[in-house]
Amino acid sequence: MAKVLFICAGCEHLGVEYISAVLKKHNHQVELFLVPILPEDPYLNIKLIQKKFKYSDFKDKLIKKITDNPPDFVAFSAVTDFYRYANEIAKEIKAKINVPIIFGGIHATTVPEIVITEPHIDMVCLGEGEYAMLELCNRNEEYKNNPLLDIQNIWFKNGSEIKRNSIRSLVEDLDEFPVSDKKLFHDAMPSFKRQYNLASTRGCPFGCTYCCNNALRSIYKEKGKYLRKRSVENVIRELEQNVSKETELVFFRDEVFPYNTQWLQEFADKYPKRVGKPFKLFIHPRMCTPENSRLLRKAGCIYVSVGIQSGNEETRRKYLKRVDTNEQIAAAIKNLKDNNIKVNIDQIAGVPGEGEAELLATAKFYNEIRPNVVTYFWMTLYPNTEIVTTYRELNLITDQDIDKINHGILQSDFLGGSVKFNVKSFSQFRTFLCYLPLVPKWLYALFIKWKLYRFADMNSRFMSSLFPRLVLAPFNRDVKSWKIEIGDWIGRIKYFNKFMRS
C-alpha cells in the first residue's frame, strides 16, 4: 500500500478525483492539500487579504506538515497558471526531505521535457493518469530500488538519466472508471458541495487554436478514440449517489456537452425524474440546434456558456479555427433563448488582426443577438497550442516570451493575459461589451454610433466586467452561481485559517 499526497490550487480538480477513486479502490491512501490563496489570485488579489493571509506563511506551514509526516509520493496537478507556484513549493520540499515528487496535469503533459529537467522533480505524468498512478503505487517498493520504471504515461529521472515511457492507449469505455472521489475535495472545502461538478465527456470534437485539446490531440495520436462519452445511466447513477440537499446547482464541465442528440434524448428523460437539480454547461454554437435546445430545456438546463470569441467571421476563422458564420451563431443563440435558457457568450481580447473596426463590428453583432451575459477574456497563450505559433509568426511575441510561457511564467487573464497590441481598444471594449445586456438594444445602437466605447475604459476588473454580471444575476438565473462563487472565496479563506491552526 502506498500513500499519495496531492497538492492542488484552491479549486476542485476532476482529474485528481478520478485518480484518487482508482487508488482508493485498490487500497492505497490519498491525502490532499489545497493552496487556497496565491499572490496573483484572480479574485482574492486584494491588498488587505494578501496582507492578512500570506502565501509565504501558508507555504512554510504546508512544507512543515509534509516533512513531519512524509508520504510515499507527493503529486502536483498543475495547470500552467499554477505551475510556477507548484514548482516553488516542490523545490522547497525537496530541500527539506528526499520524497519522490511527480508532476501531472496539462502543463506537465504539454511540456514534459521542460518539467522533467527541474532538479527537484523526479517524475512527470503525461495525459490521463488513473492507471499510470495506480501502477506506480502498486510498484512502490520496486521504485525505491529502481527509479527508472517502465510505466506508460510516466517519465522517470534518476540523476542525469531520463526514461521517457510511451503513452498508453486511451480508455474508450469511460464507464469502467469508479465514481470520482468527491469526498477528497468536499472534506477539504465543504463549500464545494453547493455546486456538483462533473464531466460526461473526455475530449473535444473541435480544434480551436487556443485550447489545450489542440495540443492533447497530437499527444494521443493513434492512441484510440479521443472523443468519448459516458453512458447516460453511468452519469445519472453518479448524481444519484452524490447530489444532496446541499447541492444547489449541477455544472457539467464537458468541453461540449450535447454533441450526441440520441444520448441527450435519453438524458432528458432520466435526469428530471432521478436528479432534478438545475444545471448549466458549456456548449458550441453548432450544438445549439432546435432539437438539442428543446431537450436541454426539458432536462432542466437553465444557463449555458457559448464560446464565440469574436464577432468577426474572418479573424475568428483564420486565427481561431472557429468556422461557424455569424448567421449560424445567431440562429444558435435564438434556439437557446426560445427555450428560456440563459446565454452567456465568451469573448476573447487579443485575436490577431483585430482592432477598433473589428471590435466595433463585434459590438454590432452582439447587439443583434442580445446575449444575457458577456464574459470577457484576455488571450492567454499556453504551451504548444497552435495560437502560440501564430503569435510568433506575426511577431506579437518573441522566442523569449515562448520560453516564459513554457516555464509557466505568464500574466493571468485578469491582468491582460499575453496581449501586447491594441491594448487600449481591447480595454475599452471590455467594459463596452460587458455592459451590453444592461442597455436596451436601440440605446446601445446609439452608443455604437456615437463611439461611446472610447470613454468606457475602466481599470477595475470588477466594475468593467463582473459588476454587470452581478446586476443581471437575478434576471439570468445566475444568483445561485454567484452565491456558490462567493461561498468558494470565503471557503478558501476558511481553509487557509484552519490549515494554519492545525
Instruction: State the DSSP H helix or E strand holding residue 154, giving kind and residue range, or none if neither.
Output: strand 154-158
Q: How far is the C-alpha of 75 from the C-alpha of 429, rounded, in Å?
A: 41
Q: Which domain holds residue 21?
A: 3-168
Q: Closest by alpha carbon to 74, among 41, 35, 37?
A: 35
How many residues make up the chain in this entry? Answer: 502
389 and 342 housed in the same domain: yes
Write phi, then psi, for 47 (nearest 5 degrees): -50, -45
Q: For residue 501, is it within any domain?
A: no
Give 146's contacts (C-beta < 8 A, 6+ positions apart).
Answer: none
Q: How far is the C-alpha of 93 from the C-alpha of 85, rounded, in Å?
A: 12
Burial of 446 (0-12, 13-18, 19+ CB in 10 A): exposed
Tell me the pLDDT tens digit for each residue of 370-424: 999 999 999 999 999 999 999 999 999 999 999 999 999 988 787 789 999 999 9
Q: For residue 200, is it within any domain?
A: yes
Q: How far is the C-alpha of 432 from the C-alpha of 435, rounded, in Å?
A: 6
Q: What is the Rg, in whole angstroms, of the alpha carbon atoms belonging to the chain?
A: 23
Q: Is the pLDDT of residue 460 over 90?
A: no
130 and 262 housed in the same domain: no
Q: How far is the C-alpha of 405 from the C-alpha of 415, rounded, in Å?
A: 15
Tell me the pLDDT tens digit for each residue of 91-117: 999 999 999 999 999 999 999 999 999
Q: What percent of the chain has pLDDT over 90?
A: 88
Q: Is the pLDDT of residue 48 over 80?
A: no
242 and 109 housed in the same domain: no
Domain boundary (168, 197, 223) is at 168
CA dihedral 285, 436, 387, 117 (to 10 degrees): -110
Write phi, then psi, for 443 (nearest 5 degrees): -75, -40
Q: What is the pLDDT of residue 239?
A: 98
156 and 209 housed in the same domain: no
Q: How far is the C-alpha of 140 from the C-alpha of 427, rounded, in Å?
A: 52
Q: What is the CATH number of the domain that holds 377?
A: 3.80.30.20
Cell of 199: 464531466
The total domain count for the chain is 2
Give 77's contacts (C-beta < 8 A, 6+ positions apart).
Answer: 6, 7, 8, 13, 15, 16, 104, 105
157 and 198 housed in the same domain: no
Confidence category of residue 214, pLDDT binned at 50, 70, 90: confident
Q: For residue 456, is it within any domain?
A: yes
Q: How far is the C-alpha of 89 from the C-alpha of 109, rounded, in Å?
A: 19
Q: Is the pLDDT of residue 326 over 90?
A: yes
Q: Closest by alpha carbon to 336, among 372, 381, 366, 365?
A: 372
Sort residue 284 into left (φ over 0), alpha (ψ -120 to 50) or beta. beta
143 and 206 housed in the same domain: no
Cell of 146: 529502481
Tell me the pLDDT tens digit for each residue of 418-438: 999 999 999 999 999 999 999
159 and 193 housed in the same domain: no
Q: What is the pLDDT of residue 472?
A: 87
User: How many Cα atoms occupy the beta-carbon half-sphere of 260 within 13 Å?
Assistant: 15
Domain boundary (123, 139, 168) is at 168
- Cβ-contact 278, 302 below 8 angstroms: yes
Q: Flag the least confident range among 160-169, 215-224, 325-334.
A: 215-224
Q: What is the pLDDT of residue 90?
A: 98
164 and 193 housed in the same domain: no
Q: Indicate the pairing of strand 301-309 with strand 101-104.
A: unpaired
Q: How far is the C-alpha of 152 from the C-alpha of 131, rounded, in Å?
A: 9
Tell me the pLDDT tens digit for each residue of 256-281: 899 999 999 999 999 999 999 999 99
Q: For residue 497, is it within any domain?
A: no
Q: For residue 151, is it within any domain?
A: yes
109 and 208 housed in the same domain: no
Mutual angle of helices 55-68 and 479-501, in 10-degree steps: 60
